[in-house]
């Protein structure tokens, strides 16, 4: 069973994935993306995955058979699962918790060679609809307190399968990254009476030099303190802490801005590996006036090394103003 | 001039290395370690580096000429420099600071093909003596508040040159990783009246299953909440917040434990890429009864991906008890 352990000084958590239990010899050919062979995520190969959790599929078709356009399955190598109902914390010098949660894969298309910016607008909306629906379903489950939805694209960014997919990990705790954001945002709100993300949108629109794209409901920009070259933030203009609240009109605008932003990124950097993450409110904070959900896109162009691990300070060789200018001016 | 920028919500800092100013086309062949050609760190090639800051060299030899066994030079591509004396913080919605500091390279040997575990014990002591002396020299300089000493080994771990070297970056602020450690340790001390790192040593010795090696003054183990497979912590047994306080007898024991630990790591994982970082007290905290310097070794065997970036929770497929057992039992 996976075990969550807490570092006693920083409060950071790790997942000890005991079922993987990797030995030294397992760390040899690790930078390989699985290519060729039979893809378990392609249409027609539904029996190669565990039974589907849900799917958006044509009327009259059956689970674990073709006819779907989005399919959600359990991750075969789950970082967290629900094999135990006990998730109590043991307190001593060290703290741990049973790794009670869920780990799912959202297969974004029946087609193998469809990268995110190539989806038609309707399919893109269906992907984000699946994100929202899995978030709603998992947040309703005890003892889930946070759901991380993310996408790894390219072997360097951690994708072990090429077929387009995103992942969902539901955890019984609030991760420190999110806790730090909540605490920083809360302090800002106490001080100034405003959501700092709403303020950020106002500042970015006024400055303009970090903007990439915008539409009625969303804005895409390279953040002021970008840790990575070509890092991108996408924020809804209207205050909303929880991604679950996404309605159909927002789905349309979100899909449109992600498509145009990813098209520009792909064209500027010849299809770079990247990680795409949703940040959203944890349980108990979905109505917070100071938190604001967002998408974060991290192209993996630089190497995180000793200085970054030691300090948490990232050295970014491309000012976000320069990156945004390239992206703005890239024709798509 | 490099610019330090603060993320307004988390308080995390980044260095915008404006002088590197990388464009999209610069991110192509980035996973290459420079091999072959002329190595600027080899003996005889002293003129290929900027003039040396200091060196440990034979009597009668001259700066920037052979005769040295340890040589310290400015980093040609400095992340921080001291070209400006102004390091004031501008406060608005966004905060920034001039990147006033230093970035040095410690060349660990005149020989190109000497990896850390191969040094003879005396050379190893000289490396750590250089670490200590640069820490002392830089911490005495205004406005330096933290000095990060680290070593990247292998291209995947961020080393751009093969010749053994470590790096020193001096910053005008206390990094968030260190601030979080200080805050967590302080809270523990307030609560229990003990240094949590001293307590950790006692717990690890009592448990025994995560121990790798030990001698009179140091202990090496895989930490309880290891983020990475085969992650290693080395702690001095006696309470000491500041690495500057390292005396000659400690130098000897530190070198001995690093040598044996790195020999075991190299043998177990066939010379893995790794980052090695010193954590030590920042300015104003050198006498803290709750902080304790340490070395952290992170073998780079797994890929940090969307889940880790989004949450700060690392998925570690090798329990530290398993890793420590391998390392303990590896004959050297």
Question: Tens of pLDDT along B242-288?
Answer: 999 999 999 999 999 999 999 999 999 989 999 999 999 999 999 99
Sheet with A274-279, strands from edge to edge, namely A54-57, A68-74, A102-107, A165-171, A146-153, A274-279, A294-299, A232-236, A218-221, A211-214
With an 8 Å Cβ cutoff, is B79 touching chain A? yes
Query: Where in B162-308 does DSSP place strands (E)?
Result: 165-171, 211-214, 218-221, 232-236, 274-279, 294-299
C-alpha–C-alpha distance, residues A315 and A312, integer Å: 10
Task: With CB atoms and an 8 Å threshold, state whether B158 touches A22.
Answer: no
With an 8 Å Cβ cutoff, is B169 touching chain A? yes
What tokens appear for B201 in the block?
Answer: 């040593």
Q: What are the beta bridge partners of residue B279?
A: B294
pLDDT higher than 80, residue A76: yes
Q: Which helix (H) or strand (E) holds B69?
A: strand B68-74
Task: With CB atoms and an 8 Å threshold, state whether A314 touches B279.
Answer: no
Taken as a whole, chain B contains a residue count of 332
pLDDT confidence of residue A30: 46
pLDDT higher than 50, residue A29: no
pTM for the complete prediction? 0.94
Question: Min CA distance, B180 vs chain A (Å)?
Answer: 6
Q: Is A165 a catalytic residue?
A: yes
pLDDT higher than 90, residue B2: no
Query: Using the 8-state DSSP alphabet, how is residue A245 labeled?
Result: G
- Which residue ranges form the domains of chain B, and what is each CATH number? 3-17+31-176 (3.30.428.10), 177-329 (3.30.428.10)
pLDDT higher than 90, residue A13: no
With an 8 Å Cβ cutoff, is A93 touching chain B? yes
Task: With CB atoms and an 8 Å threshold, state whether B79 touches A27.
Answer: no
Q: Which residues of B touch A29 (CB under 8 A)?
A: none
C-alpha–C-alpha distance, residues A108 and A72, integer Å: 9
Share of chain B above pLDDT 90, in %: 78
Residue B294, SS3? strand
Question: Min CA distance, A328 vs chain B (Å)?
Answer: 13
Question: Min CA distance, A4 vs chain B (Å)?
Answer: 9
- What's the mean per-residue pLDDT of chain A? 92
Among candidate residues A10, A303, A288, the one with its CA nearest the CA of residue A175: A10
Question: Min CA distance, B123 vs chain A (Å)?
Answer: 22
Residue matched to tokens 């404006």: B18
With an 8 Å Cβ cutoff, is B20 touching chain A? yes
Residue B160, SS3? coil
With an 8 Å Cβ cutoff, is B7 touching chain A? yes
- Find, in chain A, the residue whose alpha carbon is nearest to that of B170: A307
pLDDT confidence of residue B83: 81
Question: Tens of pLDDT along B122-160?
Answer: 999 999 999 999 999 999 998 899 999 999 999 999 998
Share of chain A above pLDDT 70, in %: 95
- Closest to B307 (Cβ–Cβ): which among A21, A148, A302? A148
* 8 Å CB contact between B279 and B178: yes
Task: With CB atoms and an 8 Å threshold, state whether B176 touches A224.
Answer: no
pLDDT higher than 50, residue B210: yes
* 8 Å CB contact between B213 and B257: yes
For testing contact with chain A, the best of B307, B322, B329 (most A CBs within 10 A)? B307
Residue matched to tokens 């290395």: B17
- Closest to B277 (Cβ–Cβ): which among A9, A184, A309? A309
Q: Who contacts B140 (Cβ-Cβ below 8 Å, separation ≥6)? A: none
| A253: number of Cβ within 10 Å | 17
Task: With CB atoms and an 8 Å threshold, state whether A10 touches B181.
Answer: yes
Distance between alpha carbon A187 and the CA centroid of its chain, in Å?
25
pLDDT confidence of residue B208: 97
Q: What are the beta bridge partners of residue B13?
A: B6
Q: Worst-scoring range by mean pLDDT, A20-24, A290-294, B31-35, B313-317?
A: B31-35
Task: With CB atoms and an 8 Å threshold, state whether B309 touches A277.
Answer: yes
Q: Which helix (H) or strand (E) holds B263?
A: helix B248-269
Question: Tens of pLDDT along B8-61?
Answer: 888 888 888 876 667 777 775 444 555 668 999 999 999 999 999 999 999 999
Q: What are the beta bridge partners of residue A36?
A: none
* Pairs of CB atoms within 8 A across A/B: 274
Residue matched to tokens 């007290």: B281
Q: What are the beta bridge partners of residue A116?
A: none
């Amino acid at each position: 069973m996976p075990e969550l352990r807490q570092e006693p000084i920083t409060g950071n958590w790790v997942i000890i994935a005991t079922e993987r239990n990797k030995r030294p010899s397992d760390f040899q050919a690790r930078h390989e993306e699985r290519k060729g062979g039979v893809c378990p995520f392609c249409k027609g190969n539904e029996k190669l995955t565990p039974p589907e959790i849900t799917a958006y599929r044509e009327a009259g078709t059956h689970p674990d058979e073709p006819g779907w356009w989005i399919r959600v399955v359990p991750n075969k190598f789950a970082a967290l699962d629900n094999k135990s109902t006990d998730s109590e914390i043991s307190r001593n010098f060290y703290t741990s918790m049973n790794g009670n949660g869920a780990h799912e894969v959202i297969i974004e298309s029946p087609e193998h060679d469809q990268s995110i910016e190539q989806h038609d607008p309707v399919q893109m909306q269906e992907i984000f609809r699946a994100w929202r629906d899995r978030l709603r379903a998992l947040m309703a489950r005890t003892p889930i307190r946070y759901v991380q939805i993310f996408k790894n694209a390219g072997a360097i960014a951690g994708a072990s399968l090429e077929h387009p997919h995103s992942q969902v990990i539901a955890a019984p705790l609030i991760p420190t990254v999110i806790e730090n954001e909540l605490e920083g945002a809360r302090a800002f709100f106490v001080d100034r009476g405003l959501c700092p993300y709403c303020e950020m949108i106002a500042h970015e629109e006024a400055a303009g030099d970090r903007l990439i794209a915008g539409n009625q409901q969303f804005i895409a920009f390279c953040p002021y303190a970008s840790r990575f070259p070509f890092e991108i933030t996408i924020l809804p203009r209207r205050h909303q802490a929880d991604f679950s609240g996404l309605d159909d009109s927002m789905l349309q605008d979100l899909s449109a801005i992600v498509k145009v932003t990813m098209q520009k990124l792909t064209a500027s950097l010849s299809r770079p590996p990247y990680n795409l993450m949703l940040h959203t409110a944890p349980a108990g904070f979905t109505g917070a006036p100071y938190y604001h959900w967002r998408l974060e896109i991290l192209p993996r162009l630089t190497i995180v090394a000793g200085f970054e691990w030691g300090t948490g300070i990232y050295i970014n060789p491309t000012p976000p103003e320069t990156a945004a200018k390239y992206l703005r001016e890239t024709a798509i």
